[in-house]
Amino acid sequence: MHERHSSWSFLWRARYVPGWIRDRVLDGALAPIRCVFAKHERLRRIAAWMRLHRRRLTAVFVLVAHLLGAAASLNVLTEQRTPQGAIAWIVSLNTFPYLAVPLYWTIGETHYETYSTAYRASVSEGDPIIKHLYQSLKTADLIAPASDGTRQVLTRLVKLPVTRGNAAKLLIDGRQTFDAMMVEIDAAESYVLLESYIIRDDWLGRELKNLLVKKAQQGVRVMVLYDEYGSRDLPSSYLSDLTENGVLVHGFNSPLADGSTTRINFRNHRKLLIVDGVSAFVGGLNIGDEYRYGVDELGLYRDTHVIVHGPLVQCSQVAFVEDWHAVTGEMLENLRWTPVAAKATGGEGLCVPTGPADEFDTALMFFMQLVQSSEQRVWIATPYFVPDEQMVTTLKLASLRGVDVRIMIPKHSDSTLAWLSSFSYLSELDAAGVKVYRYEPRFVHQKVILVDDSVAAVGTANFDNRSFRLNFELMLAMFDCDFISDVERMLEDDFLECRRVEGDDLQKRNLGFQLLVRASRLLAPIQ
């Protein structure tokens, strides 16, 4: 006996499921839609007309999509972006506009010039604070001389001085980092400034929230700045719990309030905590259980933070104040701006805030200068390795002149696109002698660079186009021998848990995987 098939059964042809079961499920699922059409004669007529003219409507849709793609391509040519990024967008917009056009409208528009003007106009109101800080540093003799070319370049680039008298301590993973943070926050007497890309309403997030509320109720000024894209899953109840108890909370938003997509494209990726103007925390850890307890499929993240005391605290405070003012219009002058040395000698370091409103590609130039200045080694740890051609060339040149260039990337990643793209660099880097390692035990999320025995930097910037040009980032570069030795030992331990990646690793994969990698590499400039 033949089974009766619903007219909708072609939508679901599951194996080993009898036809009558499929029909019952489909009929039940589609019943509301049929009910709507049955009750609305106009909708039935529209649907019938669309079926009758479906070929013409399809042709019109395709034509309009390609016209919009062409128009968006012209807009790409008027924007300031890399040639590779412009080519990637133009090709995507004209070959597959159905997906590329909505994506471009969402995250593709740069608005660099307008954005930079608006942001710089906002933060320029803080110039008196920076001038006062410079004068205080000079009076206390805490400005280190620019003794080499790298320091000269970097100080001119970030418009902040290399300071001395700093004490920096490496914090490895969430237990060390958040235990130290909670202790500092709990001991706060005047103010707490917290800036994070991601804040989650999980066990760690609620623990932090309760502590911030406690300090606010004790009369401590507590200010929290979070990125609205990174913390898009943060419920309003979490924020209301903070604000109702005296904590000042704001989402980082572009200064442009014209409905543009700039806010989505330019993100505040900084992770910064300042307590009483005495201590500052900077590094890769967001506020989430994956950094402290390891709750998702990637387990406990391998990450690194640093706590500093000394004049670097005031320099880091400048970054928070500028971001806060850009969002709220409020200038935080009533903070501790008088720096105090934490060490009698040494402890030299530089605060490196970077962002899309900078006059130059500060993050990219910072890393390029460090690599170019290397003589013995460059060790890099990054979760997202998607550099542009300039950086790839710089790394290869360093290796060709005999520098030990090592790059540590994760075996497993939370970004499939970045993970795939990383394979495309293996062959050319290996040919130049650059050694790539995949960290196997966990997802490595730390952002660290070690150059010779002269400088080690820890912070928030990844080795990808987004950190180089689109995100607001913050790095702390230390020229302190003790700190450099600590970073060296940490990375040596991490490399022991890595597997060296061969240059022909991609060629050993199947053709489908290779095609995915090549396609991902084409999208590298817009990742």
- Cβ contacts of 71-77, under 8 Å, gap ≥ 24: 72/97, 72/100, 72/101, 72/104, 72/105, 72/108, 75/109, 76/104, 76/108
Residue 368: partners with Cβ closer than 8 Å, 6 or more residues away: 390, 391, 394
Residue 447 annotated among the catalytic residues of the structure: yes
Closest Cα partner for 333 from 121, 136, 133, 184? 133
Q: How far is CA 236 from CA 99, 233, 250, 254, 327, in A?
A: 31, 9, 12, 20, 18
Question: Burial, 466: exposed, middle or buried (Cβ in 10 Å; 0-12, 13-18, 19+)?
Answer: buried
Catalytic annotation, pick one of 215, 271, 305, 309: 271
Instruction: Supply the pLDDT for residue 507.
Output: 85
Q: Are 221 and 274 in contact (CB under 8 A)?
A: no
Give the largest Cα separation in the chain, rounded.
98
Q: How far is CA 24 from CA 15, 27, 99, 209, in A?
A: 16, 5, 34, 49
Instruction: Round the average pLDDT of the chain to a whole number and report it.
Output: 86
In the chain, the amino acid numbered 376 is: Q
Q: Are 139 and 337 in contact (CB under 8 A)?
A: no
Catalytic annotation, pick one of 445, 480, 486, 494: 445
Encoded tokens for 92: 């995507």
Residue 411 annotated among the catalytic residues of the structure: no
Residue 416: partners with Cβ closer than 8 Å, 6 or more residues away: none
To which H or E segment does residue 61 belong? helix 54-77
- Return the DSSP state at 310: S
The angle subtended at Cα 448 by Cα 464 and Cα 497, nearest 5°, is 105
Residues of the chain falling short of pLDDT 50: 1-17, 112, 254-262
- Rounded Cα distance between 267 and 253, Å, is 8
Residue ranges of the alpha helices (H) in 356-480? 362-373, 389-400, 416-423, 426-431, 465
Instruction: Supply the pLDDT for residue 3.
Output: 43
Encoded tokens for 480: 């302190």
> 38-62 as b/e, with b when 16 or more CB fall inside 10 Å?
eeeeeeeeeeeeeeeeeeeeeeeee
Residue 269 annotated among the catalytic residues of the structure: yes
Residue 138 annotated among the catalytic residues of the structure: no
Catalytic annotation, pick one of 111, 215, 269, 305: 269
- DSSP string for 449-499: EEETTTEEEEES--EEHIIIIISBEEEEEE--HHHHHHHHHHHHHHHHTEE
Could you identify the residue written with the tokens 């790059």?
407
- Rounded Cα distance between 245 and 215, Å, is 10
Q: Are 506 and 66 in contact (CB under 8 A)?
A: no
Catalytic annotation, pick one of 173, 430, 447, 480: 447
Residue 452 annotated among the catalytic residues of the structure: yes
| Residues, the chain | 527
Encoded tokens for 380: 């890099």
Catalytic annotation, pick one of 173, 201, 276, 494: 276
Catalytic annotation, pick one of 404, 414, 452, 482: 452
Q: Are strands 221-227 and 191-196 parallel, antiparallel or unpaired?
A: parallel
- Rounded Cα distance between 374 and 233, Å, is 42
